[in-house]
Amino acid sequence: MALRALLGAALVFWVVAAAWWVVAAAWWAAAPAWGGGPLAVVATSTDLKALVEEVGGDRVRVEGLAPPLADPHAVEIKPGQIAALRGAALLVRVGLDHEPWLAGLLRTVGDARLAPGGSSVLDCSKGIDLLQAVVARVKPERGDHVHGFGNTHYWLDPENARPITAGILEALVRLAPSERAYFESRRAAFLTRLDAGLKRWTDAMGPYRGTKVVVVHESWPYFARRFGLQIVAAVEPVPGVPPSPAYLATLTRQMKDGNVRVLIAEPYSSAALVARVASLSGARAVTLVASVGGAPEARDYVALFDLDVARLVEALR
Ligand SMILES: [Zn+2]
């Protein structure tokens, strides 16, 4: 009898203990990670940084990894970037093979949360309708390839800011659930400004629909699709690979024959190469800024398109 009572008491004890652990575990899982201060976010580009700030406002503190005037596929790693990643609540990245320099940085940091597919990573390429995804590209074994899974410059279609900021909103709400209404209203205000911009840019580009252009690097297919430009060739025969003299000779002859009047370059394009293609083909070179902060006027995401559309219209006129 005493043994049975003892066993009964032990059973009750274990049931109560188990229930306590279940309740405690649920409480920990539900507890918000956010302690009230700004969320530390790292974005791989100034464009994603700008979009996180549009949604996050003063509830986020965002560090951008790639400087706006550098080739985004070839970024120099600095010790400060490692420190920023170590303290990050969220890493927002372009994804695909846009940031080949990020893998080494993440290896140094060694935080599984920030590795591809990790719990604290927002890969903005998910949910984007990618261009050039089915074109056979350089084999992945080669170290110099980029755009191997599709074109990675998708933020240059302003319409893509809609899915990108939707993903950012979801990620920020997960980190700070009590701030949902704040993030939602900030995103709505941003989309209102974006829609006004889209109307402005579409109107300005309207007279030039169908215009043939040549680009240095294939940064512009999303932009071109949105505003009706026709990219007929790239100076780089494969993204990231410089052209041979023979390739340049053929390209510039085709540009002349096809009456291609405009060559689109980036701030980090080789000035000598751009001048050479322009002089051989007779086309006018225009430098478009591919990232927020790449020029003083491109201070935010909407201003970036105001600047690029103004520069293009000037060159096409
Ligand atoms: Zn690229």
Q: pLDDT tens digits, residue range 194-203?
A: 999 999 999 9
Residue 25 pLDDT > 50, yes or no? no
Average pLDDT over residues 87-108: 95
Q: Is there a common fold for 39-197 and 199-316?
A: yes
Task: Identify the band that residue 29 occupies on the pLDDT scale cut at 50, 70 and 90.
Answer: very low
Which residue is it, tokens 């591919």? 290
Q: What is the pLDDT of residue 36?
A: 78
Contacts (Cβ under 8 Å, ≥6 apart) of 55: 165, 168, 169, 172, 183, 186, 187, 190
Question: Tell me, what's the pLDDT at 146?
Answer: 81
Phi/psi at 23 (5° precision): -65, -45
Cα-to-centroid distance, 155 and ligand 1 (Å): 12
Nearest alpha carbon to residue 88 among 106, 114, 107? 114
Cβ-contact 64, 49 below 8 angstroms: yes
**Residue 72 CA, ligand 1 centroid: distance in Å:** 7
Q: What's the pLDDT at 28?
A: 40
Task: Calculate how far, in angstroms, residue 202's C-alpha sits from the geometric centre of ligand 1.
Answer: 24
Mean pLDDT of 52-71: 96
CB 47 within 8 A of CB 155: yes
Q: pLDDT tens across 163-176, in order?
A: 999 999 999 999 99
Of 19-33, 126-140, 203-217, 302-316, which range is least confident? 19-33
Cβ distance 72 to 290 under 8 Å?
yes
- The structural domains of the chain, with segments of one domain joined by +, span 39-197, 199-316
Q: How far is the CA of 291 from the centre of ligand 1 (A)?
A: 12
Mean model confidence pLDDT for the chain: 89
CA of 248 to the centre of ligand 1 (A): 19
When the candidates are 3.90.1150.10, 3.40.640.10, 3.40.50.1980, 3.20.20.70, the CATH number that belongs to 39-197 is 3.40.50.1980
Rounded to an integer, the average pLDDT of 33-44 is: 87
Measured in Å, residue 133 CA sits from the centre of ligand 1 at: 13
Residue-level pLDDT at 32: 42
Cβ atoms of residues 218 and 239 within 8 Å: yes
What is the rounded distance in angstroms from the CA atom of residue 109 to the CA atom of residue 254?
A: 48
Residue 81's nearest CA partner among 39, 103, 109, 53 is 109
CA of 230 to the centre of ligand 1 (A): 18
How much is the pLDDT for 18? 54
Q: Which of 3.40.50.1980, 3.40.50.1820, 3.50.50.60, 3.40.50.620 is the CATH number of 199-316?
A: 3.40.50.1980
